[in-house]
Structure 1
Amino acid sequence: MAERDGDGDGGDTGVVVETRAKTKRPPLYKVMLLNDDYTPMEFVVLVLERFFGLNHAQAFELMLTVHKKGVAVVGVFAFEIAETKVGQVMDFARRHQHPLQCTMEKE
C-alpha cells in the first residue's frame, strides 16, 4: 500500500470565522403628558421632577409646553421603562385626585 503524506484532509485548509449575531436595539417609546383643565400646574411640575428627574426650571418649562400645546413628550424610553413611568404617573395622579393623563406611543 502506498502511504500518503498529510493528515488526510485533501490538502484543503479552512479558516474558522466566528460570526457574531447583530443585536437589534429595542424600539423606543415616547411618554407624553396631556393637558387638562383641572390638574394644577404645580402638580404637573412635581410629577416631572419626581418621575422624570427634571430640575425645577426644566419641569416648569415642560409644564408650560403641556399647558400651551395640549401635549408634550416628557421622555423616550424602552418599552418596559415607558410602561412603568406611565403607570407611576397615573397612579400618583389618581391618589391625589387629579385627572392628569400620561400615555406612551412607539417612536
Structure 2
Amino acid sequence: VHVLERFFQKDREAATRIMLHVHNHGVGECGVYTFEVAETKVSQVMDFARQNQHPLQCVMEKK
C-alpha cells in the first residue's frame, strides 16, 4: 500500500483496493502513463523494493 501511495499517488482506499486485487488475482494495474514516466516509475519501485528487501515485481506493459 505504501508503494502505491508513494510512487503512484494513490489514496489509502485506492491503494488498498489495488493491493487486494493483486493479492487475489496475482496482478494489478497502477495506472496508465507515457513510456518515459512508466519506465521511471518501474525503476523507482524496483529500487525501493530491493533496498527494503521486498519481493515485489513492477513491470510496464503496452496497452
TM-score (norm 2): 0.97
Q: From 13, 22, 26, give the equivalent of 1:66.
A: 22
- Which structure has more RCO (C-alpha within 8 Å, separation ≥ 6)? 1
Q: From 76, 79, 82, give the equivalent of 2:35.
A: 79
> How many correspondences in the alignment?
63
Quote how far apart the aligned CAs of 1:105 are.
1.0
Q: Which runs of 5+ in 1 are unaligned?
A: 1-44
Aligned runs of 1:16-55 on 2, under 5 Å?
45-55=1-11
- How far apart are the structure 2 equivalents of 1:63 and 1:83? 21
Q: Runs of 4 or more off by more than 2 Å in structure 1?
A: none
Which residue is 1:105 aligned to? 61
- How far apart are the structure 1 equivalents of 2:12 and 2:55? 22
- Which structure's residues are more often strand, by fraction? 1
Percent pairwise identity: 62
CA RMSD between the two structures: 0.5
